[in-house]
Amino acid sequence: MICPRCDSDAAELLVKAPVENAWEVYLCDACNFTWRSTESEEITDPARYDRRFKIDPLSIPDLPVIPPIPKLVK
């Protein structure tokens, strides 16, 4: 399944609604985006997801690291 935010083909079903079979939640393995099937198309449709918030999967390793990982101390 295509992730609406990063367009990777890495999204899978995470969970179904605990009751009423009301919705499903999907999780993108590439960018950790989660969304619910009942959200608006501006969230669920890769073509309509706001470009300002799109993520390029190739840029993820270069994001700032918070907090920094310290050196190992014996």
Partner 1 sequence: MHYRDLREFLSLLEQENQLVRIKESVMPEPDLGAIGRAAPNLENGPAVFVEKIKGYKNSLVLNVQGSWQNHALMLNLPKDTSIKEQFFALDRLWNDYPVKPVWVTEKDAPVKENKIKEDINLFDILPLFRINKFDGGFFISKGAVISKDPEAPDDFNKENAGIYRIQVKGKDLVGIQALPFHDIAVHLRKAEESNEPLPVAICIGNDPLLNFMASTPIEYAQSEYDFTGALKGAPIELVKSETGDLDVPARSEIVLEGNILPRVRKIEGPFGEFPGSYSGARLQCEIRIHTITHRTNPIFENLYLGIPWTEIDYLLALNTSLPLYRQLKKDFPEVVAVNAMYTHGIGVIISTKSRLGGYGKAVAMRLLSTPHGMPYSKIVIVVDEFVDPFNLPQVMWAMTTRVRPSKDVVLIPNAPGMPLDPSSEPAGMQTKMIIDATTPVAPDVGRETELLEVPEKTEFWLDYLKRAMRKER
Does position 32 bind partner 1 by CB under 8 A? yes
- Tokens 């920094």 map to which residue? 68
CB of 49 to partner 1, least distance (A): 9
Does position 34 bind partner 1 by CB under 8 A? yes
CA distance 60 to 66: 13
Compute how many residues bind partner 1; rule: CB under 8 A.
39
Does position 55 bind partner 1 by CB under 8 A? yes
- Rank residues 9 and 32 by Cβ distance to partner 1 and give the closer one: 32
Tokens of 45: 């449709």
Identify the CA nearest to 26 among candidates 6, 49, 42, 2.
2
CB of 7 to partner 1, least distance (A): 15
- Residue 26 has φ and ψ, to the nearest 5°, of -110, 150
